[in-house]
Amino acid sequence: MKRISKCIIVLLLTVIISGCAPTSSPATGGATAQAPTVTATLSTAVTPTVTPTVTAESKGVENLIIIIGDGMGQAHISAAQQVYGRHYGFTDWDSTLINTNAINEQGEASVLTDSAAAATAMATGVLTLRRRVGMDKDETVLTTFLDLARQKGMVTGILTTETLLGATPAGFSAHVKNRFDPQEVFDSQIDSGVDLLCGAPDPICAANREQILQAGYYYCDDISGIDAEPSKKQYWQLDTLKTSPEVEPVSLAELSVAALDHLDAKGEFIMIIEQAHIDKFCHDNIFDRTVHSVDMLNSTVERVMEWVGERTDTAVMVLADHETGGLVLDPEAENSYFSPITGEQIAYEYTSTNHTTDEVKLFWHGFEPNIAALPYFGERDRIKNSDIFYMVCELLELKAGAEGK
């Protein structure tokens, strides 16, 4: 594909007025993204109105699986491979780096992100403030690519190792000012129309079971009853970690396959799968639990790819929303971990207990995006997290106002 010059990109973004991009342009070089004032309800959400400057050889792609390692930097992947003595196949896929900075009140993309702002950027193509979920900095409700997929008649799903009220799943399915208002996140999420919602058991979700049922969902908190009413939307409260001695955890890999089977039976789909605990263990600088979580993500990728098999209608992305912990692998580091699998000492150091500005990676399989034509940087080996929205929309031909099938 020919590289589109910067002047052509600017021209396209200026004059083309139909298709799939946010009303607010990404803030670049300190520019402030302006958005019209809109009442913060989903019915009046801002929808994309500009064709993205990206092309893709979709090869008949109709479905998309996005696997997110929350907080997963490049060093985390390397460390897990060393500890477990195996090569992760997804690291051989085509890839590019992702810049994850959020914006400040002036719209400048120079602020260390949180998971809410990162998920919102990926889901909507609009950079926002930390803590915002599905809203821009002015509290304008934004349209996600899941919203556009449902307008097209596709089915959608979100599965996470944490509660559904966490920042990342919320960023793709809710529209609230503050990620730390769990009841508001819950209410907005239930109204989102996502066909399958699955997360770890949460007391707010359990206490509002009747509201979930009234919204048309089948509620399940026991793996033996999963998908017992397949004609309904699904709301699963299932633990993928042993958080309680009374609860036997469910494999994230196998749960992902169950979710994919459910969606695939209903039609074309987008499925988001999050391994949330890489981030959580990095905040506490717990190395063994960090690499275990990365290995769980890899096992999920492997199982998902077995499910995909020879299908050419399903694309897969593996990515991170940001890096957490500033993990460094250095032979001179004071900390070391003995791998009982490889018999080797892995020297490491955490340089932070927070998120960092380290760029993370996007890996893709089953399609060929034109990375250099994405609107933010226009570079082959570096994109903005907000560019994920454009890539998904172009790949699946998602457009505002598309008629359902």
Residues 56, 57, 61, 63: is their CA dihedral positive or negative?
negative
Ordered per-residue pLDDT tens for the chain, 405 residues:
434 444 443 334 433 334 454 444 444 433 333 332 222 233 334 544 444 444 545 668 999 999 999 999 999 999 999 999 999 999 999 999 999 999 999 999 999 999 999 999 999 999 999 999 999 999 999 999 999 999 999 999 999 999 999 999 999 999 999 999 999 999 999 999 999 999 999 999 999 999 999 999 999 999 889 989 999 999 999 998 765 556 667 899 999 999 999 999 999 999 999 999 999 999 999 999 999 999 999 999 999 999 999 999 999 999 999 999 999 999 999 999 999 999 999 999 999 999 999 999 999 999 999 998 898 998 889 999 999 999 999 999 998 654 443
Residue 336 lies in a domain: yes
Q: Which residues pair with 98 in a beta bridge?
A: 360, 383
Q: What is the pLDDT of residue 248?
A: 66
Specify the pTM: 0.87
Give me the helix-helix angle, 115-124 and 387-396, nearest 10°: 30
Residue 79 lies in a domain: yes
Residue 305 lies in a domain: yes
Residue 29 lies in a domain: no
Segments forming the whole domain that contains residue 61: 6-12+47-396
Q: What is the pLDDT of residue 358?
A: 97
C-alpha closest to that of 127 among 362, 388, 386, 359: 386
Residue 172 lies in a domain: yes
Q: What is the pLDDT of residue 241?
A: 78
Cβ distance 355 to 323 under 8 Å? yes
CA distances, 52 to each of 16, 137, 270, 370, 372 (Å) = 9, 22, 20, 11, 12
C-alpha closest to that of 269 among 362, 145, 358, 366: 145
3-class SS at 90? helix
Structure tokens at 286: 């717990």
Residue 230 lies in a domain: yes
Q: What is the CATH number of the domain that holds 124?
A: 3.40.720.10
Residue 178 lies in a domain: yes
DSSP structure string for 327-347: EEE-TT-SEEEE-TTT--EEE
Give the chain's domain count: 1
Locate all alpha helices (DSSP H) within 267-386, ordered by sequence: 277-283, 287-308
How many degrees, rounded to 5, is the angle at CA 194 between CA 50 and CA 259? 120
pLDDT tens track for 203-242: 999 999 999 999 999 999 998 899 899 999 999 999 987 6
Q: What is the pLDDT of residue 186?
A: 97
Cβ distance 67 to 145 under 8 Å? no
- Strand pairing of 155-160 and 269-275? parallel
Residue 248 lies in a domain: yes
Q: What is the pLDDT of residue 27?
A: 45
